[in-house]
Copies of this chain bind each other. A is one copy, B any other.
Amino acid sequence: MKVYEKELEIRSSRRVEFIDITSKILQVVKDSNISEGLCVIFVPHTTAGVTINENADPDVVFDIVKKLDSLIPRNDNYTHSEGNSDAHIKSSLIGVSLNLVITDGKIKLGTWQGIYFCEFDGPRYRKLWIKIIGE
């Protein structure tokens, strides 16, 4: 069994922003030299997340961000005093951890799928952990 781990740094430039990290993840898997296995992407933050969605038309991600903002507005009588409760709630709905399948030395993704780091309380420097096990 082989195990590989890598920490990436992401820089967001807006308060809410979906950043396409597909090519970075593909590179990590290539560097791992693991050809068959599982890859976990883990976001070590409580106001961010990670998701998979369409990477062809940027309007798709725009609509996701807009709908999340409308369901979970920034100001909404929250109790937490830091002004970022919306970001915490979005983080739990989108999730901070994601599983990917590795086959033939590559991440398997559908034709239109891209991997997005979801910033909900930026702009900030963020970290991302990738752990791969396999053979």
Give chain A's interface residues, CB within 8 Å of chain B: 1, 3, 5, 36-38, 40, 42-46, 51-54, 57, 59-60, 62-64, 66-68, 71-72, 76, 78-82, 85, 88-89, 91-101, 103, 108-113, 127, 129, 131, 133-135
Bound Cα distance A26, B44 (Å): 16
Count identical subunits in the complex.
Answer: 3
Is the beta-carbon distance between B38 and A40 smaller than 8 angstroms?
yes
Is the beta-carbon distance between B46 and A54 smaller than 8 angstroms?
yes
Evaluate whether A88 and B46 lie within 8 angstroms (CB atoms) in the complex, with A3-B134, A72-B67 already known.
no
Bound Cα distance A89, B96 (Å): 17
The chain B residue sitting closest to A73, CB to CB, is B67
The chain B residue sitting closest to A81, CB to CB, is B59
Bound Cα distance A23, B52 (Å): 26
Is the beta-carbon distance between B101 and A40 smaller than 8 angstroms?
yes
Q: Which residues of B contact A91 (CB under 8 A)?
A: 53
Partner of A60, one of B46, B60, B68: B46
Bound Cα distance A68, B92 (Å): 11
Is the beta-carbon distance between B42 and A108 smaller than 8 angstroms?
yes
Q: List 14 A-B contacts (CB under 8 A).
A: A1-B1, A3-B37, A37-B133, A40-B99, A44-B111, A45-B112, A46-B52, A52-B97, A57-B81, A63-B78, A63-B79, A63-B80, A67-B76, A67-B89
